[in-house]
Amino acid sequence: SQQGEEDPQALSIQEGENATMNCSYKTSINNLQWYRQNSGRGLVHLILIRSNEREKHSGRLRVTLDTSKKSSSLLITASRAADTASYFCATGHLGGATNKLIFGTGTLLAVQP
């Protein structure tokens, strides 16, 4: 399967702490994205990092990408209860005229107030 894997599968932290999630994938990518999914809702795009980038920031989010290890990490700093959600990495692949996203297995983050 092409599907990426995320670890940990579940993470529980206290408000104010940092949360780190990791994603590994198997094939060459064009870009890697992180999405958030609140319970019972659709996915929301958080950040995109291209294959030629190594690090990207957006607010309290920091994403790194190591294409040699085929891995990425998402760091959420100073977490809040509202950050409680599932987080998915998705690798973007170019193939002919199509762009395809392959999603990872997700990390369920619980931030305790």
Partner 1 sequence: DTAVSQTPKYLVTQMGNDKSIKCEQNLGHDTMYWYKQDSKKFLKIMFSYNNKELIINETVPNRFSPKSPDKAHLNLHINSLELGDSAVYFCASSQDTGRNEQFFGPGTRLTVL
Q: Least CB distance from residue 14 to partner 1, whole Å?
A: 24
Cα 76 from Cα 86, distance rounded (Å): 13
* Residue with smaller CB distance to partner 1, 39 or 68: 39
Distant-in-sequence, close-in-space partners of 85: CB < 8 Å, separation ≥ 6: 36, 37, 38, 39, 109
DSSP codes joined into one string, 1-43:
----EEE-SEEEEETTS-EEEEEE-SS--SEEEEEEE-TTS-E
* Residue with smaller CB distance to partner 1, 19 or 29: 29
Site string for partner 1, 83-102 (x = CB under 8 A): ---x-x---x----xxxxxx
For partner 1, the binding residues in 14-33 under the rule CB under 8 A are 30-31, 33
Interacting residues with partner 1 (CB under 8 A):
3, 30-31, 33, 35, 37, 40-45, 48, 86, 88, 92, 97-103, 105-106
